[in-house]
Copies of this chain bind each other. A is one copy, B any other.
Amino acid sequence: MKETDVAILGGLSGISAGISCRRHYPDKKVILIRKEGTILVPCGIPYIYGTVGGPENNVIPDGLLERNGIELLKGEAVDVDREKKLVTLKDGETVKYDKLVFATGSGPMVPPIPGIDKKNVFPVKKEFDYLSDLMKQLDNARDLIIIGGGFIGMEFADECRKGRDINITVVEALPHCLQMAMDNEFCDEAQARLEETGVKVLVNEKVEVILGDEAVTGVKLASGKELKADMIILGIGAVPHTELAEKSGLELGFRNTIKVDRFMRTYTDPDIYACGDCAEKVSFFDGRPTGVMLASIVTSEARIVGANLYSPTHQNCGAISVFSTVINDRAFGVAGVTERFVKQTETKYVITEAEAPDTHPGGMPDSTLTKVVLIFTKDTATLIGGAISGGKPVGEMVNVLSACIMHHMTADDIVKFQMGTHPALTSSPIMYPIVNAACKAVIPLKGKSSIV
């Protein structure tokens, strides 16, 4: 039997939680238990198939653990005795803990489509060998169908086309690609960018049957159409790995995630915390459960858990849903709510927009027109959401929005921002689009307040 202060079950968020714990409590012993030999960068998985050229180039080095004094124990945890505070591994090893963290992540959702278990149908698992097999199959494929036009699906489509002579079709059941994440104008822009590469995108369309004998040969769509396919990639969402949590008697909540309070402590056991895709999330906007799973949330939660283990202090403000993606060299980013979402609530809102090249003056090379849309509450002008499309700086611009949303900044706050600008790096000081979009949101409020 091993003994530890803190045992962590899991992958990426487990590493972050462990590092955070060691930083806050350097005298505590931390053991990370995981079954995977190698942990992949989750957001890097689509890029294995194009830009980075193989799963071996998408690995999170275990040196991080060593450098932070975290012991790695490879093995599958199969039982948690909460009374004895004991984790049992598949090979019989046991680990006695003082505090336990579930960071068990998620796996791909596999929908009950007839034929889904045929050969060459690939849900996107986060396993090294599996993803190597997917690579081999992809290099021999001629007709690839990607089911699901969310990030995973769109990024896979954009990467798989690179350097391959292959027909790719994305099939999305909703009216727009990326519809769960972005408003229509950005969804349409992303879809158009992807289609420019030759990838076909079908929206409002569902795969009803996967055809073929042993291996897939095609699909039948709900519209009746049939498409040829020798490979299918599934990108329709993820389900939390919470079987062990449930078996341990931890209360599960929304969509089978582990119920946690604002300290990320499980509802059931004050010595057990959870973070990442396996933990229940609530929206920053209204505190209601949300199914969103993103690295920006996972790592924030993990840092909160690590800091709270021996002194619950840090509160999770709720998921802001910050993310960015790149489709055919155009970057898209979102933070907070979409207009589609806020429309369904009773909250009145103001939506504003500004555009500017991301360099200045006009003659600077490598300039990309950047478009910013901001959503403010109507009555307080608090920023609750924003979306940006443009070039590489979008990745950090959306983080400016994230900081603003998290700290309840108002349009007036943003109008006063002192934003650094430089000809080669940003929009011009008088065109800076986050500020200019905020400026436009000020008018209605001012109109009201100036009555007095």
Contact = CB atoms under 8 A, between A and B. Distances in A.
A363 B53 contact: yes
A422 interface: yes
A320 B363 contact: no
Given A361-B57, A400-B400, A417-B403, A422 B307 contact: no
A270 B446 CA distance: 21
A446 to B, nearest CB: 5
Interface in A31-81: 41, 43-44, 47, 51-53, 57-60, 64
Copies of this protein, total: 2
Contact of A416 (B41, B59, B300, B335): B300
A181 to B, nearest CB: 11
B316 A416 contact: yes
Contacts of A412: 314
A442 B307 contact: yes
A406 to B, nearest CB: 7
Nearest to A59: B361
Interface string A283-318: 000000000001111111001100100110010110
A323 B41 contact: no
A406 B415 CA distance: 12
A422 to B, nearest CB: 4
Interface string A321-332: 011111000010
A323 B422 contact: yes
Given A23-B442, A51-B364, A296 B421 contact: yes
Contacts of A317: 416
B429 A295 contact: yes
B423 A44 contact: yes
A402 B422 contact: no
Nearest to A12: B430
Contact of A296 (B296, B409, B419, B442): B419
A10 B303 CA distance: 49
Contact of A400 (B16, B298, B320, B403): B403
Contacts of A325: 422
Nearest to A430: B16
B420 A324 contact: yes
14 contacts: A20-B439, A23-B439, A23-B443, A41-B428, A43-B421, A57-B361, A300-B416, A314-B416, A316-B416, A331-B425, A392-B393, A399-B417, A402-B418, A402-B420
